[in-house]
Amino acid sequence: MNGRGCRYFCMGLNIHYPYFVETGVHATDRPRECSTCFSRSQRTRFREYLSQAALPAMEMSLSWLDAGEPLSINVSGVAIEQFLGDEHDAADILVQLLRHKAVEILGQTYYRSVAGLFSEAGEFTSQVSRHAELMEGLSGKRPEVFENTEFVFNSELTNALSTLGFAALYSEADESILPVLNPNYVYSCNDLPILIRNCRLSDDIAHRFGDVTWDRYPLTPEKYAGWIAETPGDCIHVRVDAGIFLGAAGGARALGQFFRGLPEALRSREITTILPLSAARNQPRAEIRLEDLGLVSSDRAYALTGIRTILQQSAFWCLEDARYLIPDQESWRRFQSTDHFSRMDTISGSCGRVAIRSTSQEAYDYFSAYLIALARCEASCREDLWSPAAAQVLRCLPPEKAFHFHSGHRFIGYSAHSLKEFSRLLEFIPEEVFSFHQERGDFSRWIDEVLGDSTLAERIMHCATPHEAAELARERGRELCHDLK
């Protein structure tokens, strides 16, 4: 018997493969077009992902559906592009899966991107609409539940999603939220139902399944179904990424056998598998507000998102500023995939996604490669802009040309990779750091010799405080942005 635990279970699969940046390239190597800033081995790497991850995951999904259980699926637009561009029959299998009557398709940003964090919502809504139209064209179904990929929660998206016709939002809860929110209940935010992934049970499959040192190894369908039956709540939401099949510990075959045995194990515990839209109809347990979680912030990039490190923040600022520097919007959007930002952290891949553990040096190396690629892409577009001179000053800089703030004794951990980031960081640095650089003429020298703006270099020499210099740099940035339009 089920007892007092959850009676309902939502199972979901995510399929996504981004365009990675080219590594090992020097910033001075200027490409003729932005497309060459992305990995030359992209097609080869995608085929490896296709054969070792996506196809086994889709076979698992078909066996799950054959067992009479419903399944939700989320596929990024950039993954579908690559499916359709491959000469194998994987695209046919994917479309067959999406059209299955027991499959619910979830919405997301087309590029599985950080667009939801931009200061203006236009890019986010554009990508969400584009993805929804693509999915409807392939499957005949328009997504009604949106999945907030790679991010814990961003309450500012809910109104936009409601306007776009979504009936619910999938999010996830990290350790800071779990004491406040139970992921096995429905919540609401601005009247939009919020469904929350159960990260622990998702990661039991994604991360711990093949770990022989795990104290609960081996994980069997019966054991897993028992945990669900014993867990308090209304419905447990487990979503896994197809990438977990790629080099899965214990083998992809063992993982496939686990999924094939799970439907019967769930039925034996009187647990019913349902789809997200059905789960969203449950009565919300409470309204989610950021202040309830003790995380009030006026800056979206810090409000319960996946932007955790100074490297990620720097890259995000450069990316958002690049919108008007890269007329090739398709390339700019490829830079938005959350995968780039995950690789700038030492630990990423929670809640059913592939675990990526990097050293600090590896995280920095990817950050450096990303900024170099972004800078090269901007450079390739500069002559096509209304004011190449303004674009030169506003451009993203590779790490070796950034302004590194120093106290006179040590580097303080802040580096400006663009004029706009420079103006932002001036608000954070201590007075003594500002004085150290100002007295030496470091600010005006960097602005003149690296950014190439003698006008601002002359003006900033006379600033007495960091705030005054920040305001001056912001105003100059606004002038130059106006010149671009």
Side chain identity at 33, as an amino acid letter? E
- The CATH number given to 8-300 is 3.20.110.20
Indicate the domain borders of the chain: 8-300, 385-485
Tens of pLDDT, residue by residue over 99-139, are 999 999 999 999 999 998 888 889 999 999 999 999 999 99
The answer to whether the Cα torsion of 157, 162, 163, 164 is positive or negative is positive
Tokens of 108: 């997301």
Tokens of 343: 């690789």
53/244 Cα distance (integer angstroms): 7
Pairing type for strands 103-107 and 145-147 reads parallel
- Report whether pLDDT(389) > 80: yes
State pTM to two decimals: 0.92
Cβ-contact 243, 354 below 8 angstroms: yes
Winning range, highest mean pLDDT, from 2-6, 118-122, 135-139, 285-289: 135-139
- Report whether pLDDT(80) > 50: yes
End-to-end CA distance of the chain: 67
The CA R_g of the chain, rounded to the nearest whole Å, is 24
DSSP codes joined into one string, 396-434 = ---GGGSEEEE-SSSEEEEEESSHHHHHHHTTTS-HHHH
Side chain identity at 424, as an amino acid letter? R
Q: Which residues pair with 38 in a beta bridge?
A: 21
Tens of pLDDT, residue by residue over 188-232, are 988 999 999 998 999 999 889 988 999 999 999 999 999 999 999
Number of neighbouring beta carbons within 10 Å of residue 198: 26
258/264 Cα distance (integer angstroms): 11
Q: Which residues pair with 235 in a beta bridge?
A: 8
Side chain identity at 1, as an amino acid letter? M
301/116 Cα distance (integer angstroms): 10
Query: Strand, helix or coil at 171?
Result: strand
Tens of pLDDT, residue by residue over 9-30, are 999 999 999 999 988 887 666 7
- Report whether pLDDT(298) > 50: no
Return all residues near 183 (Cβ < 8 A) that are at least 6 apart. Answer: 172, 173, 196, 197, 198, 199, 233, 236, 237
Task: Write down the mean pLDDT value for the chain.
Answer: 89
Number of neighbouring beta carbons within 10 Å of residue 298: 6
Tokens of 53: 């991850």
Q: Which band of pLDDT confidence, cut at 50, 70 and 90, is reported for residue 304?
A: very low
